[in-house]
Structure 1
């Protein structure tokens, strides 16, 4: 039986695994990366450590089956990552000259992509959500998002954005159905936003 609860540090291995197993446009990306931790270091860990009040997981008898992670202020969170999260990882993973997917992630550790000011101006909060197939199709994604939205509204956040791969058509359709609209285009992704008020 699945249930949604606040995430804790004990969920780091499970959330890292979910991140990797949904990394290929929503399907398992395990075969694409040599280092299974890099994606989690970038997209998961700092939220559980730095913004635990906005981190929730779906747990079942097999472990973590999904998560939603967020922050009320993207710019404040980016500043925290710069001070507290990236330095140790940059020391562990020096820049490389390779062109593989792992090399791209290591490059991201050293030069994180900044969200455009035009997006953050009206949608300062942001989120990441991923669910394994066993947690999909049950309405849990919507419940997870609503759980996060309640926490963000309580903190005064009035708008939220997310960044989704342009090839992840199922996710884009899901977000549009919830009321997210396209705000801007990244290199190979779409920034979508929604008012929380």
Structure 2
């Protein structure tokens, strides 16, 4: 059987590590966000603070190697994010603040597109460490997560990725996701060297 299991509360730190080490087109987010703990609290914390449903991780003898995280309801996600935000910046090194602020300001100026939340209220994120890639682990992770959403009666789910991530695009298509929108963004240009194509994909569940 594939090495996946439901995520536990004590997986939050390991999931945050995976998020950080894959946060720049599959590589480390360190080049644009030199504050790994803050990154983990902002991007992973809400799912372990009440927003999540159908959270699963992959693992090997060394620990967690990947995950699928998501929330079935945008309001539920926002409430969890608000719970996380007050303490998110604790212990963030002062030397990291200029780079972190630069990225957050760019992200605010270049917001990602989204599908209509009434039809696609759920969203998900799937990431794998390099040592877990090439094993088709995205498939059982997606099967488990989408099964949970269907059990909950969620009508649809959306995700955001980029055209740089060909392996992920192929995995999502295998599970029936379709491209809803493509949009060039300059968000990543200072670090990537060129604009990236943002891709929004959706899947009807009912």
TM-score normalised according to structure 1 size: 0.80
Deviation for aligned residue 1:36: 1.4
Quickly say closer, same or farther: Cα 1:195–1:119, change in 2 above 3 A.
same
The runs of 5 or more residues in structure 2 that have no matched partner are 186-195
Q: Is the 8 A contact 1:2 1:59 kept in 2?
A: no
Residue 11 of structure 2 corresponds to residue 11 of structure 1 = yes
Looking at structure 2, the residues matched to 183 and 71 of structure 1 have their Cα atoms a distance apart, in angstroms, of 19
The corresponding residue for 1:146 is: 143
Looking at structure 2, the residues matched to 107 and 87 of structure 1 have their Cα atoms a distance apart, in angstroms, of 19
Looking at structure 2, the residues matched to 143 and 114 of structure 1 have their Cα atoms a distance apart, in angstroms, of 27
Quickly say closer, same or farther: Cα 1:69–1:32, change in 2 above 3 A.
same
Quickly say closer, same or farther: Cα 1:48–1:163, change in 2 above 3 A.
same
CA offsets 1:22-76 (integer angstroms, 9 cap, x no match): 1121123345432112322222121022145421111211110000011111233
Quickly say closer, same or farther: Cα 1:157–1:30, change in 2 above 3 A.
same
The corresponding residue for 1:155 is: 152
SS in 1 for 2:181: strand
Deviation for aligned residue 1:85: 1.9
Q: After the TM superposition, which of the residue ranges 11-20 and 174-183 deviates more from structure 2?
A: 174-183
The corresponding residue for 1:191 is: 200
Question: Paired residue for 2:132, among 117, 135, 145?
Answer: 135
Residue 101 of structure 2 corresponds to residue 103 of structure 1 = yes
The corresponding residue for 1:123 is: 120
The runs of 5 or more residues in structure 1 that have no matched partner are none
Quickly say closer, same or farther: Cα 1:108–1:143, change in 2 above 3 A.
farther
SS in 2 for 1:167: coil
Deviation for aligned residue 1:114: 7.8
Q: Is the 8 A contact 2:38 2:89 kept in 1?
A: no
Q: Is the 8 A contact 2:52 2:72 kept in 1?
A: no
The corresponding residue for 1:85 is: 84
